[in-house]
Structure 1
């Protein structure tokens, strides 16, 4: 079927308390991985190294945006936000560390390959999964390798539809009934693919498809690690939904030199309130 295919300022203590509670709930539910898809325990470092760093917030932590109030969804309120409000995951900031979760980090046009890293990735996760629970997508953002099929499914007792538009792969707009699922295989894409549900217009998620295994999603404290990177000159890209490219060099990436058997710290990639699009 397919080719391979805002916040209102409040007293700081109140805002910080709510942000802490919300952040803990969102990151636990979304299960955002703190490092790359393959750990250093699996990949021998021989001619390879590790890139690590953090994505951090500069400024006061904003109060999370409520997309759907508890029990007040415009569609299917008995399922959507029935037990808790649905909150925006566009900007997940840990109030304690000011780390930003859910930033996508990857190499732009890697210099070199690592077949063992690919083999380990596919052995550990033969396919990727995008689920719908309580009228939210989980995980909110993920990176996948082009040889990993993506299973899109619904754990909800209401209908959804799946819609996305791609540069390289065929676009899709398809109903997904109760208990439904479909499997899609992608070629690598230039940008993260936004997946949406038009029945419940607040629903969205991002899937980034790569033709290499050198990518990660930042964890709760904003940290990330990419293991098994070929030694030598590389270009690192850090992308966050509300900002776009955070790193110097934008889509081309910021230069990083990787040493065999060592971990290079790319430092902190900072986001300021003035950089946020449509707060």
Structure 2
């Protein structure tokens, strides 16, 4: 039997499935963004074993640039646009003092869904210092051996923040805190991938600690890329990065 009330309810349900926070997006339309960053110069190898390895510019065996951040830049990102698979992410991101470094050297965190854990896996005392722009945190965290601290961020950050040890200044890392999970960090091959992006035009930022905003291509002003994400694969291709870009770091990055 035809019932107008049921038909109307079904129409409302279908309309809701294709609307996200006022932005019309087909429910099954998601895309993946990928790319590969390669260094065009000759990497300088560190030969003195007495000096801790410099991690500020890591070039892989095949020329890939490690630890480049690629992320959507949107301070008011609508949570309705986040793919449900991201809810499976762990609720903690762990960085740890290990050996002569902080590992990992580059990490990302989805605020407020994830908290930061700072762990000391060395026999030494560390004073872990975070340098946020938006969040108010203690100046230093006393990290005694085999102890950990839990940090909850209240705000997303504009850029990756530096984390360093006030006792061991060569120990440093960078953490990106965003209000969405759409970020990635290149591995030693220079490759990154961001999955399940909502289709549409988005502005991405490309950032590296030794260059700041990384304008690897002429049209990438201050490391900004506007990309029309289409369903399926979206590939930046091979991005060649010259050594000069890492020599032009400016105050404020």
Computing the radius of gyration from Cα coordinates, the structure with the larger value is 2
TM-aligned CA deviation for residue 238 of structure 1:
1.2
Task: Provide TM-score, normalisation by structure 1.
Answer: 0.71
Provide runs of 4+ in structure 1 moved above 4 Å. 110-119
Which residue does the alignment assign to 1:49?
31
Q: Secondary structure at the match of 2:247?
A: coil
- 1:268 alignment partner, SS class: strand
CA contact (8 A) 1:111 1:230 kept: no
Q: Indicate which of 113, 118, 121 corresponds to 1:152.
A: 118
Q: What is the rounded CA distance, in whole Å, between the counterparts of 1:256 and 1:217 in structure 2?
A: 18
Q: Distance in 2 between matches of 1:88 and 1:117?
A: 36
Answer whether contact 1:150 1:185 (CA < 8 A) is retained.
Answer: yes
Equivalence for 2:66: 101
Matched, 1:168 2:134: yes
1:250 aligns with 2:222: yes
Q: Find out whether 1:182 has 2:149 as its counterpart.
A: yes
Q: SS of the residue aligned with 1:121?
A: helix
User: Deviation per CA, 1:93-150, whole angstroms, max 9, x where unpaired?
Assistant: 1232x11111111111289756585653343311100111113101000111002010
Alignment partner for residue 140 of structure 1, among 78, 82, 105? 105
Q: 1:278 to 1:256 in 2, by over 3 A?
A: closer
- Write the distance in 2 (CA, Å) between the matches of 1:110 and 1:181: 30
CA gap of 1:235–1:87, structure 2 versus 1, over 3 A, is same
Q: Indicate the residue corresponding to 2:247 in structure 1.
A: 277
Q: Confirm or deny: 8 A CA contact 2:35 2:236 kept in the other structure.
A: yes
1:86 is paired with a residue whose SS is coil
The gaps in structure 2 that reach 5 residues or longer are: 1-26
Q: Alpha-carbon deviations, 1:19-42, whole Å to 9, x = none?
A: xxxxxxxxxxxxxxxxxxxxxxxx
Question: Would the aligned equivalents of 2:130 and 2:162 in 1 still touch at CA under 8 Å?
Answer: yes
User: What is the root-mean-square deviation of aligned Cα atoms in Å?
Assistant: 2.5
Gaps (5+ residues) in structure 1? 1-44, 71-84
